[in-house]
Structure 1
Amino acid sequence: MADWAAVAKVVNDRMAEVGMTQRELIERSKVAPMTIRQIQQGVDRKRNRNTLAAISRALGFPEEHLSHVAARSQPDAGRDDDEDATVAQLVKELAALRRRVDAIESRLADQE
């Protein structure tokens, strides 16, 4: 039986971590808004593997990540050190990019 509460936690935590809105997740994953909402709420319902793969990719995870979370309810279990290092590096790069965008937006606002 799938652990949809664990999937919801991983999705919601990751969205908060990278500053992603629900709308952005919908746009990036191309998954229906109702499905995204149900997944975020942990609604117990069978999910298509392609749906979970699309959401995983949109969140910057390996394609099978959410399927593995659903199957074993331990989000980081089974991840090897290389994957952890890659994810950590991507998080750092995303944070740096976000700071640069914020600085550019601030300069643009000052020019107005």
Structure 2
Amino acid sequence: MSKDWQAVSAAIKSRLDELDMTQAELSHRAGVALETVRELQHNLRPRRRSPRTLGAVSEALGWPSSHLAAIADGQSPDDPDAGDPVLSELDRINETLTHITARLDAIERQLADGDGRS
């Protein structure tokens, strides 16, 4: 599976703007070469990157170390619980309970209307 370096680039650009941080500051904080930051930010020379490099840049930008690697893999790092089968099942249970509650409310209204007619 190829990596989505364009998405990584967009995430870095956006985050640098949010933090009002320069490439030099990011390079210093992450402990990586300025050229590496430039390549990542502008998607120059897309190539395999060390997990340490992506982790260091992620952390320097205030993200979990796996953030940029997840973006490169096409995942949404905003939701670390995405795909969790237990949470998916809880969502289904919640939908079912919401449906049952709506039906009970309708039945109560019908019973209340029936009591008022007597």
Give the conservation status (yes or no) of the 8 Å contact 1:6–1:73: no
Determine which structure has more spread, i.e. the larger CA radius of gyration: 2
Structure 1 residue 66 displacement after superposition: 0.3
The CA deviation string for residues 36-67 of structure 1, in whole angstroms up to 9 with x for no partner, is 11000113111000000000000000010000
Partner of 1:49: 51
CA distance in 2, matches of 1:5, 1:64: 17
After TM superposition, the structure 1 = structure 2 runs for residues 84-95 of structure 1, keeping only pairs within 5 Å, are none
Structure 1: where are the runs of 5+ without partners?
81-112
| Greater relative contact order, per chain length (Cα 8 Å cut-off, separation 6+) | 1
Provide the residue aligned with 1:23 in structure 2.
24
Name the SS for the 1:72 alignment partner.
coil
Q: What RMSD, in angstroms, separates the aligned Cα atoms of the two structures? A: 1.7
- Residue aligned with 2:32, SS: coil
SS in 2 for 1:2: coil
**Residue matched to 1:69:** 71
What TM-score, normalized to structure 1? 0.66
Give 5+ residue unaligned stretches, structure 2: 82-118
% identical equivalent positions: 42
Residue in structure 2 matched with residue 95 of structure 1 by the alignment: none
Instruction: Please report how far the alpha carbon of residue 26 of structure 1 lies from its aligned counterpart in structure 2 after TM superposition.
Output: 0.6
Query: Counterpart amino acid of 1:27?
Result: H
